[in-house]
Structure 1
């Protein structure tokens, strides 16, 4: 006589298996930028799309990059040979862009068209990289003329006007930057003195959930470039799920 499989045992195995699969599927495909054997890595964008630059072990681009915000209103062009380090002097593995809806402390008679916090604050470019804002005529605030548009940088206490190239044919304003902070497209009738940019922290802003745009995605909390921390976490989760499966199987077998 053929013995029927224990239904409780089979149900328990199925339940635990589903839990195990769910735990595995919830793990991110890549927690941090993965390095190649020669130490190179692909710098990815958070809330940015486009061409990601390949960086060598020293944090210097060995291919150019062209990243744009999801709304297409801002772009960052990273030339070949650019060194990008964080505030601690180590390799910066990602670039993020967060919309700043209502920037404060604008110069008198000036209005913001659009502003973005580019992070992480304190990271620097050497040499400079290109920054471009796009706009439409209908987006300009009242009493702001197209010819008055320029890009300004937040220096921690005020906005500093940067030397900007206005192209009214393509509706773009461009400049070069050397650090991460908040940048805004501003216009108005007041005269603002142009001052060289300074590396500073950006103002506190209300942020939204970030979405990564690379096959190697990350949260804004970075682990080491080798990805060791993420690998340890994955091993711990898989091991824990395996132990749970064994315990449940033993318990069900005893009851049966």
Structure 2
């Protein structure tokens, strides 16, 4: 947009000043040209005429030199014949972004004194060119051969002009690109975020370098790299069945007792970019994070990965520790437990189920919705800790795990080999033992009575 263009005629004793700029706008490091004409419209010559340029008011934001600060310049004293004119052109460079209104000052003097109408002012604005901010990378730095993981990059437009036709290209030798998202964009507005993501599979052991290059039509290309250590050989972890295209799925749960990590697409500020559903590897737990949710870890940093660790705790139907611990969500996210109604304890119904959170040494019931058609229990949570699906206090058979069953260091288990934390004997087990004792006593009394009766009859 041109702030000022055209001419400014000023007359004084037959002298007319006309100024013009090639443009009212330039980028930092760019330039515009300023032309000043002084015409003599009188009938006699005018001597001692000088044209001066002063950029002092711009405070260093403008300069007459591309590589150093030069704020003033002037012509030699000249004589203008009747009907004649003199002209001077300067190149003005943009040093610092900003709007410089009336900060280009032109003085036309005769014999050292301003002529009538002098000084004259011009304006110009300086803008930063379209540019990628230094990208940040969020990814695992140590994986096992055969593992799949996410490689996430985040940058933004740090310039004042939109970046056009952006392409993110990944170079990942010895990795297979399983999928990608957000790697192209037609335009990125000033300050807007660009966050491409790739799902990679580690194919061979060793220290590997993954490089992403950002290119566009009007911004300088940027490349950023990250080294990833791939250890040993292992049986690849099966990839979970993907959910519909509107969501992404991640692993979790078992895997030799370690917690699986799942990707959360967030921007530089921790705001989730698209609605994402994360699932445990066994498919029993799901976490849905809506687009626009603010996701932070315990330190207040953007949360990009989630872990789901299966726990074996007496008195629960299933328990999972969601991490990292202390992570928070605003608004809350949806947590779901999928259950098999045929495995519920005898006498218990689906309506007896509840999701509880372990808080301050005890289990606290959460508002739980039971979907008896799909056999899913769901609730909303705003932070990560230990959660479990269990029966309500009034339900038979299952007793809640006492606080002592949960230690500071969680027991990590695989789906095939669950380790139960010792717990107290259940009320049902106690009653069964009591009934067995009573039944035995009754049988003994019956046998003794029959023997006594038989003995007396024999003596008679």
The alignment's TM-score, normalised by the length of structure 1, stands at 0.57
Q: Equivalents in 2 of 1:127, 1:202: separation in Å? A: 30
Alignment-derived partner of residue 350 in structure 2: 146
Q: How far 1:188 sits from its partner (Å)?
A: 3.8
Change (3 A) 1:44 1:88: farther
2:152 match: secondary structure:
coil
Gaps of 5+ in 2: 1-142, 157-192, 198-247, 254-259, 396-405, 415-460
Q: Equivalents in 2 of 1:60, 1:28: separation in Å? A: 31
RMSD: 3.4
Structure 2 counterparts to residues 25-174 of structure 1, below 5 A: 33-38=151-156, 40=195, 45=250, 47=252, 52-103=263-314, 111-174=315-378
Query: In 1, are the aligned partners of 2:297 and 2:328 still within 8 Å (CA)?
Result: yes
Q: Equivalents in 2 of 1:189, 1:26: separation in Å? A: 43
2:351 match: secondary structure:
helix
Change (3 A) 1:87 1:114: same
Deviations 1:204-228 (A, max 9, x none): 321148xxxxxxxxxxxxxxxxxxx
Q: Equivalents in 2 of 1:134, 1:183: separation in Å? A: 13
Compare relative contact order (CA 8 Å, sep 6+) and give the higher one, 1 or 2.
1
Change (3 A) 1:26 1:185: closer
Q: Equivalents in 1 of 2:155, 2:384: separation in Å? A: 29
Structure 2 residue 207 is matched with structure 1 residue 207: no
Q: Equivalents in 1 of 2:323, 2:148: separation in Å? A: 20
Q: Equivalents in 2 of 1:145, 1:92: separation in Å? A: 37
Q: How far 1:29 sits from its partner (Å)?
A: 8.8
Query: In 1, are the aligned partners of 2:273 and 2:292 still within 8 Å (CA)?
Result: yes
Gaps of 5+ in 1: 1-24, 104-110, 192-200, 210-256
The alignment's TM-score, normalised by the length of structure 2, stands at 0.33
Larger Rg: 2
Q: Equivalents in 2 of 1:173, 1:30: separation in Å? A: 29
Q: Equivalents in 2 of 1:177, 1:77: separation in Å? A: 10
Deviations 1:162-219 (A, max 9, x none): 001011111111110000001111114438xxxxxxxxx995321148xxxxxxxxxx
Q: Equivalents in 1 of 2:413, 2:358: separation in Å? A: 20
Query: In 2, are the aligned partners of 1:44 and 1:94 still within 8 Å (CA)?
Result: no
Q: Equivalents in 1 of 2:151, 2:270: separation in Å? A: 12
Q: How far 1:54 sits from its partner (Å)?
A: 2.1
Normalized per residue, which structure has more strand?
2
Q: How far 1:30 sits from its partner (Å)?
A: 9.2
Q: How far 1:34 sits from its partner (Å)?
A: 3.5
Deviations 1:134-159 (A, max 9, x none): 10112223443321101101113111
Alignment-derived partner of residue 176 in structure 1: 380
Q: How far 1:81 sits from its partner (Å)?
A: 0.4
Aligned residues: 169
Query: In 2, are the aligned partners of 1:121 and 1:202 still within 8 Å (CA)?
Result: no
1:147 match: secondary structure:
helix
